[in-house]
Structure 1
Amino acid sequence: MSDVFDLQLFISVFITLFVIMDPPGTVPIFLGLTGAMTRAQRNRAARQAILVAFGVIVSFAVFGQQLLSYMHISLAALQASGGLLLLVVAMELLTGKMEEPQPSGNAKVNVALVPLGTPLLAGPGAIVATMVFVKQADRTTVDDWVAIALGVVAVHVCLYLAMRFANVVHRVLKDSGTILVTRIAGLLLAAIAVQLVADAVQAFIESA
Structure 2
Amino acid sequence: MIDYLATFIFFFAVIDPIGTVPVFIATTNGYEGHDKRKIAFIATIVAAAVLLFFVIAGELILTAMDIPLSAFQTAGGIILFMFAFSMIFGESKPEEEIKMLNNVKETAIFPLAIPSIASPGAMLAAVLMTENAKYTLLEQTQVTLTLLAVLGLALVLMLCATWIHKFIGNSGASVVSRVMGLILASVATANVLEGLKIYYAL
> Which bracket does the TM-score occupy, shorter chain normalised?
0.5 to 0.7
Residues 82 and 111 of structure 1, relative CA distance in 2, 3 Å threshold? farther
Q: Is 1:176 aligned to 2:171, yes or no? A: yes
What code does the residue aligned with 1:20 have? T
Query: One-letter code of the match for 2:73?
Result: Q
CA, structure 1 residues 54+70, in 2 after alignment: closer, same or farther (shift >3 Å)? closer
Is there any run of 5+ residues in structure 2 with no aligned partner, and where?
Answer: 29-35
2:189 to 181, 190, 194: 194
The equivalent of 2:87 in structure 1 is 93
Over the residues paired in the alignment, what is the CA RMSD in angstroms? 3.7
Q: Say how many residue pairs are matched.
A: 179
Identity of aligned residues (%): 19
Alignment check: 8 A CA contact 2:14 2:184 kept: no
Q: Identify the residue that residue 81 of structure 1 maps to in structure 2.
A: 75
Q: Could you say which residue in structure 2 is the equivalent of 1:120?
A: 121
The corresponding residue for 1:160 is: 151
Alignment partner, residue 130 of structure 2: 130
Q: Secondary structure at the match of 1:96?
A: coil
Give the deviation of 1:57 after TM superposition. 0.7
| Structure of higher CA gyration radius | 1
Amino acid in the other structure paired with 1:121: A
TM-score (norm 2): 0.66
Q: Deviations over 1:138-158 (max 9, x none)?
A: xxxxxxxxx678646633431
Contact 1:50-1:159 within 8 A present in 2 as well: no
Would you say the 8 A contact 1:49–1:117 is kept in 2?
Answer: yes
Counterpart contact for 2:19–2:173, Cα < 8 Å? yes
For residues 68 and 44 of structure 1, the distance between their equivalents in structure 2, rounded to whole angstroms, comes to 29
Q: TM-score, normalised by structure 1?
A: 0.65
Give, in angstroms, the shift of residue 70 of structure 1: 3.3
